[in-house]
Amino acid sequence: MSPIITLSTDFGTKDPYVGAIKGVLLSSLPDATIIDLTHELDVFEPCKALPFLIDTIAWFPPESFHLVIVDPGVGSDRIPLQVASPFGWIFLPDNGLPALMNEWFQNLSFREIPYLESQSTKKRSPTFQGRDLFAKALIQQAKAKKGTLLGKLVSPESLTKSFEPTPNGLCRIWNIDHFGNILLGYHISDPPQKITLPDAPSFIPYVQFYQDVPIGELGILVNSSGWLEIFQREGSAKKHWDLKTGDKIRIHLEGGQYKAL
């Protein structure tokens, strides 16, 4: 079967980086289906990619390959990883994101990419290991016989931890989407009975559907991916509450079960 490859990076689309990676992949895997999930991840902040990955790669079949590159430590001695998961192989540096993924995803297995073992520091790609290391490791795994595991196991306990959890009572804004919906870093498994937002510019009702508030009014709900979402019906919540990604707001939930970023 032709491999499915997804790309999630902070490269943007005006520079040659995405095209170069695709060229490397297709030169060795000409039948591959390459899917651009995003090239707009937050620059230099790998841990902020977690919610995006939860909402995307977890839907892919187990034979897939995922390249996730937000790499402020490019060229350094940080460990390059390939991660076995129920939704395929993930290739990324040990930059704090893998440790966070291990807290949110189940059944992950981490292995050190063997590609650099025979390379001296002088020969190491200094600025573009997404192309020169991670893409080639993906190719190596895609061409390996089924069941082959490349590289040595890495203990989850040894992974780099760089993410600072949000203090109790506060909620991190992890995204403001194309529609102006404000996505909060609370992932809900059992909906709460009540949600209060003390810092909101006006009262925001907790509802189940967009249609539960009049057109133009704000509301908060648990969206279809399980995240708390502040919305304006048929409008932009961002225009009514001037928040940005990374901001923290006070929140109070009564009942329910959830996990917080």
CA distances from 44 to 40, 97, 162 (A): 11, 12, 12
5-9, 72-76, 103-107, 188-192: least confident range: 72-76
- Nearest CA to 5 out of 174, 29, 207 is that of 29
Query: Taking residues 192-214, what's their average pLDDT?
Result: 97
Structure tokens at 68: 């996730």
pLDDT of residue 164: 86
Q: pTM for the whole thing?
A: 0.93
Is-contact 79 154, C-beta < 8 A?
yes
> Tell me, what's the pLDDT at 125?
86
Which residue type, as a one-letter code, is found at position 187?
A: H
* Band of pLDDT at residue 168, cut at 50, 70 and 90: confident
Closest of 82, 245, 81, 47 to residue 164, by C-alpha: 47
- Per the CB < 8 A criterion, the answer to whether 91 and 65 are in contact is yes
- Quick: pLDDT tens for 17-70: 999 999 999 999 999 999 999 999 999 999 999 999 999 999 999 999 999 999
Q: Among 5-14, 118-127, 129-138, 143-152, name the one with the lowest average pLDDT.
A: 118-127
For the four alpha carbons of 155, 144, 47 and 206, in that order, the dihedral sign comes to: negative
Q: How confident is the model at residue 1 (pLDDT cuts 50, 70, 90)?
A: confident
Pull the structure tokens for residue 96: 């704090």
Using a pLDDT cut of 90, give the percent of the chain over it: 87
Domains 4-158 and 170-260 share a fold: no
Phi/psi at 28 (5° precision)? -100, -25
Q: Which CATH architecture has domain 170-260?
A: Beta Barrel (2.40)
Rg, C-alpha atoms of the chain: 20
pLDDT at 224 over 90: yes
Query: Would you call 137 helix, strand, or coil by DSSP?
Result: helix
What pLDDT, on a 0 to 100 scale, did the predictor assign at position 150? 85
What is the structure's pLDDT at 97? 97
Domain 4-158 annotated CATH 3.40.50.10790: yes
CA distance 1 to 259: 37
Residue 45 one-letter amino acid: E
Q: Average the pLDDT over 91-106 and give the result.
A: 97
pLDDT band at 75 (very low <50, low <70, confident <90, very high): confident
Between CA 189 and CA 186 the distance in angstroms is: 10
Domain spans, the chain: 4-158, 170-260
Strands 170-176 and 109-112: unpaired
**Residue 117: its pLDDT value, please?**
47
- What pLDDT sits at residue 146? 82
The set of residues, in sequence order, having a beta carbon less than 8 Å from that of 226 and lying 6+ positions away, is 187, 188, 189
Helix (H) or strand (E) segment spanning residue 232: strand 227-232
The average confidence (pLDDT) of the chain is 94
